[in-house]
Amino acid sequence: MLSWGTYYRERPHVESDLTVRATEALSRAGQSWAKVTVTGREAVITGRARKDGEPKAALDAVRSVWGIRTVQLKTDLAGVAAAPERIGPPGPSPEEVAAAAAQKAREEAEAAAAQKAREEAEAAAALKAKEDAEAAAALKAKEDAEAAAEAEAAAAQKAKEEAEAAVALKAKEDAEAASAVKATEEAEAAAAQRAREQTEDAIKAQQEAEAAQKAEEEAQAAARRKAEEEAAAQQKAKDEAEAAAALKAQQEAEAARKAREEAEAAERKAKEEAEAAAAREAEALAAQKAKQEADMAAEAKADAEAQAAAEARARKTTAETEACERRLMAATAEGVILFSRASADIDRKSSTTIARLAEIIKACPGARVEVEGHTDSEGTDERNQRLSERRARAVVNSLARAGVAGDRLSAVGYGAGRPVASNDTPEGMARNRRIEFKVFTD
């Protein structure tokens, strides 16, 4: 049951809802001439009726609306104003007016005190509900953080073995973003649901409150003959007890809030320390991997340069081999040798160029051809080295299928180590992704 304080906060919405439903009831009853206004739960009908029975029909239509307590007619017919008609129990007799006035003053004072106590109790209940919600949210956030930490640890271990250390940080950020979005959506949905429930329960709350008030008034009427001194003493004791209860509730709420803030601060500190430790470990792993890759690239480059120097010393070139090499490079420049991205698969569009290259090589008897693969600088050195070797081998295999003897062909990859243009622009990177030919004789 909602309190009086809640009802009065929702009163504008209740009055608007009752007005709309009463207007719809008049329209359904065919009494569109009548206008209705609602104050609290009391309705007033105004307007000019066309027939004698229409005011009564409008009255019945509005009385049928659930939630309206009383209805007054302030209509006229053929220019004659109708006396207001009150629906409900008759008013008090003149003999009871004086006693009722005195009793009303006492009841208003008691009602004001009771209202204040109810509002203070509602404030304490609202604060407790807020604290419970915050505690639940903190617990959920902690559980989400623990789950995210476990996921981050697993991702970091996998990144250590297979990928770069940055994958762990990205996984953690994605998990936190998803958790924040989910928490926001759930909070918004809960707020919308509470708003709908408050609107629906507002009328019911007023009815229950009025019933309670009526019962209280009847009990007071039965006890009216008691001495005023006893009533005053009881009221004072009640006020003191409520004040003590409100003070205790406030103190407990303050202590709970302080404990919650301390727990949140401790949780934030622990989370920051865990994130810092994870970041340091990721940096160390990245540095170690970068050093290993640099060492491997340096060793591979030294080996390749030594091998190239040895082969150059063993190779011989003649005017015929140089002419053959020039024809091969011209055919490559005029045609295309295309690969799928980050792959050694030759595109079908390259078949014409491959066939032309095979014809040139077969027209150079006694010459050996070395196919060189080159890449741009995108990616790691190790990956680029492997890709260049695979692409050179793919061209050799295609030439062999085109009729060139396999013992006349060899493949070598240089990765991104021999650029012919800057890798700072897309155009330069495209020029560096190439296949070249070296022709020599034993």
Residue 152's pLDDT band (cuts 50, 70, 90): confident
CA distance 185 to 163: 34
- Residue 397: Cβ-neighbour burial (10 angstroms; 0-12, 13-18, 19+): middle
Give the chain's mean pLDDT.
81
Determine if the pTM surpasses 0.75.
no
Q: State how far the Cα of 42 lies from the Cα of 38, in Å rounded to an integer.
A: 6
Helix (H, G, I), strand (E, B) or coil at 377: coil
3-state secondary structure of 165: coil
Query: Order of strands, edge to edge, in the sheet holding 70-77?
Result: 35-39, 42-49, 70-77, 80-81
Instruction: Mean pLDDT check: name the lowest of 25-39, 117-131, 220-234, 411-425.
Output: 117-131
Q: Which range has the worst mean pLDDT, 165-169, 297-301, 395-399?
A: 297-301
Distance separating alpha carbons of residues 368 and 361, to the nearest angstrom: 9
Q: What is the pLDDT of residue 83?
A: 47
341 neighbors 388 (Cβ within 8 angstroms): no
Say what the pLDDT of residue 82 is.
44
pLDDT of residue 289: 61
Which amino acid would we find at residue 374? H
Tens digits of per-residue pLDDT, 309-368?
Answer: 555 545 788 999 999 999 999 999 998 898 888 889 999 999 999 999 999 999 998 899
pLDDT reported for residue 27: 94
**Is the per-residue pLDDT at 17 higher than 70?**
yes
Sign of the C-alpha dihedral computed for residues 382, 385, 391 and 397 taken in this order = negative
Least trusted range by pLDDT, from 21-30, 290-299, 309-318: 290-299
Q: What is the mean pLDDT of residues 297-312?
A: 54
Residue of 396, 421, 423 lying closest to 407 (CA atoms) = 396
Q: Span 160-188, mean pLDDT?
A: 77
Q: Does 280 score more than 70 pLDDT?
A: yes
pLDDT at 129 over 80: no
